[in-house]
Amino acid sequence: MVAGRQAEHVKPRDIAIAVAVTAVWGINFVAISTGLDHFPPLLFNALRFTVAAFPALLFVGRPRVPWRWVIATGLTLGVVKFSLLFAGMAAGMPAGLSSLVLQSQAVFTMLFAVLLLRERPRALQVAGLAVALAGVVLVGSRMTTNLGAFLLIVGAAATWGLANIFTRKAAPPDTLRFIVWVSAVASGPLIVLSLLVDGPATDLAALRAINVEAVAALLYIALLSTLAGFAGWGFLLKRYGATTVAPFSMLVPFFGMASAALVLGEPIHLIDVAGGVLVVGGILLGLVRPAALSPRAPVEDLATAR
């Protein structure tokens, strides 16, 4: 990836791809909420990665990165992050707000990069971090009656930040191939956890009661959000670089909150809008680079994984 690609004009077709992917990822939160009406969180998470991984393994080769990073990312991103996300939403965190609060992963990614990779953030990045954190706190102030669910989503964002560090170390040349293997790694532990926590009887009852709505939600998050989403996003990253593509991810909470309002009837409060502006604005502020500085080659990570 060369730095010069960051300045390349983005073609209208590729803008359409970026918007389509972020729409898929935003609506994904509605699909998760729908699926959680039918499955326990751990079972739903296990099914998601099993369906995403094993059919695709027939068509992709080895991940072409060290196995330690595939395993580390699979456990943090697939097992811990998504289990916390699903648990938080099952505990009552609205789908639209979940899509917004989860964007605080960018803040945690920066913190872990400073602590683990010895990166030195720029002043604008620190300012953006502070603004985004203020937005998360503002949203959290409205969730005092369900603080536990809110904290589960924040925990998911923090774990996602750690998974992004592992992905940076892996530097996968093929994003789709990497996420397929990450999904395969996550599948087994999630099945075991579901059997231990929920119990075989609960899981079997959920599978017996499966219907068209449950299958549609599962196929959406496994095939559209995971495989098709990463295929499109990986294509854009290779063509333009992370600095050009990453800002499009700020459309995810827009689509998430809008689709949750339209499909699930979730109300959008003024405090949610204000918090969202702070979170998205803070993250975008951290992406700004002074014109006098020569940007470093971007790292392709999972900073927008859904």
- Between the ranges 4-18, 75-89, 115-129, 256-270, where is the mean pLDDT highest? 75-89
What are the DSSP calls for the chain, one per residue?
Answer: --GGGGGSPPPHHHHHHHHHHHHHHHHHHHHHHHHHTTS-HHHHHHHHHHHHHTTGGGT----SS-HHHHHHHIIIIIIIIHHHHHHHHHTT--HHHHHHHGGGHHHHHHHHHHHHS-----HHHHHHHHHHHHHHHHHHHTTGGGHHHHHHHHHHHHHHHHHHHHHHHH--S-HHHHHHHHHHHHHHHHHHHHHHHT-HHHHHHHHHT--HHHHHHHHIIIIIIIIIHHHHHHHHHHHH-HHHHGGGGGHHHHHHHHHIIIII-----HHHHHHHHHHHHHHHHHH---TTSPPPPPP---TT--
- pLDDT given for residue 65 in this prediction: 93
Confidence tier at 298 by pLDDT (50, 70, 90): very low
Show the tokens assigned to 113: 């990069």
Within-domain flag for 199:
yes
Query: Average per-residue pLDDT in the chain?
Result: 86
Average pLDDT for 248-276: 88
Average pLDDT for 198-206: 96
- pLDDT given for residue 291 in this prediction: 53
Within-domain flag for 303:
no
Average pLDDT for 192-220: 96
Confidence tier at 242 by pLDDT (50, 70, 90): low
- Between the ranges 192-196, 249-253, 281-285, where is the mean pLDDT highest? 192-196
Average pLDDT for 84-92: 96
- pLDDT given for residue 289 in this prediction: 65
Within-domain flag for 31:
yes
Check whether 293 has a pLDDT greater than 80: no
Show the tokens assigned to 283: 């993250």
Check whether 220 has a pLDDT greater than 50: yes
Within-domain flag for 300:
no
From 142-156, 242-256, 259-273, the region with the lowest mean pLDDT: 242-256
pTM: 0.86
Within-domain flag for 292:
no
Q: What is the pLDDT of residues 130-148, one digit of tens each?
A: 888 888 888 888 777 788 9
Average pLDDT for 65-87: 96
Q: What phi and psi, each to the nearest 5 degrees, are found at residue 27?
A: -65, -20
- pLDDT given for residue 296 in this prediction: 46
Within-domain flag for 24:
yes
- Domain with 167 in it: 3-287
Question: Which is higher by pLDDT, 248 or 263?
Answer: 263
Average pLDDT for 147-165: 93
Number of domains in the chain: 1
Specify the amino acid at residue 166.
F
Within-domain flag for 281:
yes
Average pLDDT for 64-88: 96
Q: What is the pLDDT of residues 2-44, one digit of tens each?
A: 444 444 577 888 889 989 999 999 999 999 999 999 999 999 9
Cα 68 to Cα 110: distance, rounded to the nearest angstrom = 22
Within-domain flag for 254:
yes
- pLDDT given for residue 84 in this prediction: 97
Confidence tier at 294 by pLDDT (50, 70, 90): very low
